[in-house]
């Protein structure tokens, strides 16, 4: 009986295309990448002749100054994430169609800068001495959906340059807080709620990535 099972297993392996068997049991590729949603490492495992799975990490912090309702803010976008992405290569070529999920603690912090005596919040205008520092935060739900396309080209034996472009669909939630003595005032709190409702929590983020991958 054992000999019969072993013979059947050997026949099944022999029936698979040689290239598919090579990909199925090939080593994990690894590398590094820079991306608009964070720089990190890449691990890739071929599962079939034309399909593989990637795990990527991303970390990045970007700050900028902007004005909202004529009030100056410092906006800081923080990326701390990891992605699980499936890659399909039509006809096992160099181009790939990708889809996956992004997990992590990405978000945006908007902090008011006290450079004037008065500040507009919602429909009201208040003294900065009463509002204190206003902090508006957006945190994105996990996971977010990613879809894109990519390609790669060999540089030297075992080392390849990869390029990816896609979009990340994000849904989030927002909070707004103030540090001043007006924080418990009902009218001011209503205006804070209006400000919170104006924050963008449903966004589509373009994603571009360049990487170097070593394939043993």
Number of structural domains found in the chain: 1
* Residue 114 pLDDT class (50, 70, 90 cuts): confident
Position 62 in a domain: yes
The verdict on residue 6 lying in a domain is no
Specify if 143 maps to a domain: yes
pLDDT in tens, 137-148: 999 988 999 999
Kindly indicate the confidence band of residue 196, based on its pLDDT and cuts at 50, 70 and 90.
Answer: very high
The confidence score (pLDDT) of residue 215 equals: 86
Supply the range of the domain harboring residue 168.
17-214
Q: For residue 199, is it within any domain?
A: yes
**Within-domain flag for 91:** yes
Domain of residue 115, CATH code: 2.40.160.170
The CB density around residue 151, as the number of other CB atoms within 10 Å, is: 14
Residue 2 lies in a domain: no
- Asked whether residue 9 is domain-assigned, the answer is no
User: Is 171 within a domain?
Assistant: yes
């Amino acid at each position: 009986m054992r000999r019969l099972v072993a013979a059947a297993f050997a026949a099944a392996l022999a029936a698979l295309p040689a290239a598919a068997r090579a990909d199925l049991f090939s080593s994990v590729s690894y590398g590094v990448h820079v991306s608009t949603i964070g720089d990190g490492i890449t691990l890739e495992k071929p599962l079939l002749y034309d399909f593989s799975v990637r795990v990527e990490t991303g970390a990045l912090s970007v700050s900028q100054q902007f004005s909202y309702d004529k009030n100056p803010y410092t906006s800081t976008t923080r990326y701390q994430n990891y992605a699980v992405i499936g890659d399909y290569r039509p006809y096992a070529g160099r181009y790939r169609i990708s889809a996956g999920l992004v997990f992590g603690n990405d978000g945006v912090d908007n902090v008011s800068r006290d450079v004037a005596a008065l500040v507009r919040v919602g429909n009201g205008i208040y003294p900065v001495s009463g509002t204190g520092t206003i902090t508006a935060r957006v945190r994105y739900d996990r996971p977010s959906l990613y879809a894109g396309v990519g390609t790669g080209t060999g540089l030297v034996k075992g080392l390849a340059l990869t390029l990816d472009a896609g979009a990340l669909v994000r849904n989030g939630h927002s909070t707004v807080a103030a540090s001043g003595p007006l924080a418990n005032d009902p009218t001011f709190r209503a205006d804070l709620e209006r400000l919170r409702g104006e924050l963008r929590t449903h966004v589509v983020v373009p994603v571009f990535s360049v990487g170097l991958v070593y394939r043993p």
